Amino acid sequence: WQGSDNHLWEAWYGPGGWAGPKDWNANLDASTEAPVGSAPSVVFTPGGTQQLIFWQGSNDDLWEAWYGASTTSGPADLSNRVPQVAGTPAVIVAGGGQYVVYRQPDGDVEDLVYTNGWSAPSDLSVAWRAPAGASAASTPALAVVNGSVVMLWQGADGDLWSTTIGGGAPVDLNAAN
């Protein structure tokens, strides 16, 4: 959760009961700007072997931290890979990859994929040649449907939009009904 100090905090439940809270920002040196600027998004890899956490920093950069093999890693600033983000990123693990989808300040939607290394970010709004109404007014939600990563979001026109990552142009679900 995002603490009142704008740090990333975690508590967890295990065989011994509740543990924590843990201040993830305590892993950073004082010169690093990772205070939390949005609610974090958390996902577990299949089998629960690794926990992945993504959030918008107070500097509008995309940040990641992860826990696996009894080791905490990060937070890492992904700003060298992505432009600034606007709001909480969405994350899902599917088909051997990590999919991170985020909204840019101009409303365009971008994705970043990790499979044996991070891909270059892809501006999905440009790739779709999306109509103006499809610009994201909210953080997209992700789900796996029949093995494909499906994204849903509220467009700038207030309608509900959907697409499959890597699968084509967005569809205005309000207009389709």
Q: What is the mean pLDDT of each run of 10 residues along the chain (177 residues)?
A: 84 88 71 72 88 87 86 82 84 90 84 88 72 74 90 86 81 81
Which pLDDT score is estimated for 75? 80
Predicted TM-score (pTM) of the model is 0.82
Cis status, amide bond into 105, omega within 30 of 0: no
Which pLDDT score is estimated for 128? 66
Which pLDDT score is estimated for 108? 82
* 3-class state of residue 35 by DSSP: coil
Give the whole-angstrom CA distance, residue 52 versus residue 41.
Answer: 8
Task: Judge residue 126's burial from the number of C-beta atoms within 10 Å of its C-beta, 0-12 exposed, 13-18 middle, 19 or more buried.
Answer: exposed
User: Are 79 and 62 in contact, with CB atoms under 8 Å apart?
Assistant: yes
Residue 138: which of 124, 159, 163, 169 has the closest Cα? 159
CA distances in angstroms from 160 to 105, 114, 138, 155, 157, listed in the order given: 19, 27, 10, 6, 9
Amino acid letter, 39: A
Q: Which residues contact 91 (CB under 8 A, 6 or more apart)?
A: 41, 42, 43, 52, 54, 98, 99, 100, 101, 142
Which pLDDT score is estimated for 27? 67
Q: Which residues contact 77 (CB under 8 A, 6 or more apart)?
A: 32, 33, 34, 57, 61, 62, 63
Which pLDDT score is estimated for 100? 92
Task: Judge residue 59's burial from the number of C-beta atoms within 10 Å of its C-beta, 0-12 exposed, 13-18 middle, 19 or more buried.
Answer: middle
Give the whole-angstrom CA distance, residue 123 versus residue 111.
Answer: 7
Which pLDDT score is estimated for 28? 60
